[in-house]
């Protein structure tokens, strides 16, 4: 199985989840994990599963203005210094048969109401469905404890397990639930 992971990240939390997802998938296939600024605008032919993830900004995907706000919170350069997943999704095309897809985000776990508001993963899901792709799993969120992180304890392990379940689903094997 060939898997392509595209992620956007300001402070490194979504990157760390993407890396954990890549680790969870490695036993199941060939995995490439790419920061969105370095991603090509065409997903190559032969990709079986596309996974895209981003931090939740203002209940959805980041914009240039929210990325500027994030930069204001950090003295060093952000992880994603160019475009975000929103802009990538506006241009992306598929060279071969469209792959299955899954989406994830990082979102704050408190205040608690944020867990029930809009999230980046759902917006990515909507846009990819709009391009005719089929989801392999529902959009998933991983929790950060505050605006800059860190991730809640155990989230990287949960990301590895989520990825392993996803690989089993795509391969048509019985998946073990992680919840
Ligand atoms: C401008 C801005 C807006 C944000 N809006 C939200 C939000 O609406 N809901 C939420 O749960 N977290 C929000 N956050 C927190 C981000 O979700 C958090 O910074 C992100 O998960 C960290 O991931 P990263 O290190 O990969 O950027 C916001 C953060 C920034 C910088």
CA dihedral 138, 117, 88, 9 (to 10 degrees): -100
Q: CA 155, CA 134: separation in Å to the nearest integer? A: 26
Secondary structure in 3-state letters for 6-38: EECCCCCHHHHHHHHHHHHHHHHCEEEEEEHHH
The CATH number that domain 2-171 falls under is: 3.40.50.360
Q: Does the beta carbon of 36 sit less than 6 angstroms from any atom of ligand 1?
A: no
Q: CA 122, CA 140: separation in Å to the nearest integer? A: 8
Q: What is the pLDDT along the chain (179 residues), one digit of tens a residue?
A: 999 999 999 999 999 999 999 999 999 999 999 999 999 999 999 999 999 999 999 999 999 999 999 999 999 999 999 999 999 999 999 998 999 999 999 999 988 888 889 999 999 999 999 999 999 999 999 999 999 999 999 999 999 999 999 999 999 876 555 54
Residue whose CA is at the smallest distance from ligand 1 atom 13:
57
The alpha-helical segments, DSSP class H, found in the chain are: 13-25, 64-72, 85-91, 120-130, 155-171
pTM listed for this prediction: 0.96
- Please check whether residue 9 is in contact with residue 142, taking contact to mean a CB–CB distance below 8 angstroms: no
Mutate to test the pocket of ligand 1, among 6, 11, 55, 70 (most ligand atoms within 8 A of CB): 55
Q: CA 157, CA 20: separation in Å to the nearest integer? A: 7
**Segments making up each domain of the chain, as ranges:** 2-171
């Amino acid at each position: 199985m060939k898997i392509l992971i595209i992620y956007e990240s300001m402070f490194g939390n979504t990157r760390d989840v993407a890396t954990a997802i890549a680790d969870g998938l490695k036993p199941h296939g060939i995995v490439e994990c790419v920061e969105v600024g370095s991603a090509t605008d065409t997903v190559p032919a032969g990709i079986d599963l596309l996974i895209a993830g981003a931090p939740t900004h203002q209940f959805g995907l980041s914009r240039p203005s929210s990325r500027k706000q994030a930069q204001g919170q950090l003295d060093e350069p952000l992880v994603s210094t160019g475009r975000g997943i929103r802009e990538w999704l506006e241009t992306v095309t598929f060279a071969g048969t469209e792959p299955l897809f899954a989406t994830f985000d990082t979102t704050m776990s408190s205040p608690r109401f944020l867990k029930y508001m809009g999230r980046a993963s759902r917006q990515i899901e909507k846009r990819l469905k709009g391009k005719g792709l089929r989801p392999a799993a529902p959009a998933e969120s991983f929790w950060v404890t505050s605006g800059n992180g860190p991730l809640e304890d155990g989230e990287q392990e949960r990301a590895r397990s989520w990825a392993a379940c996803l690989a089993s689903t795509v391969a048509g094997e019985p998946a073990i639930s992680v919840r």
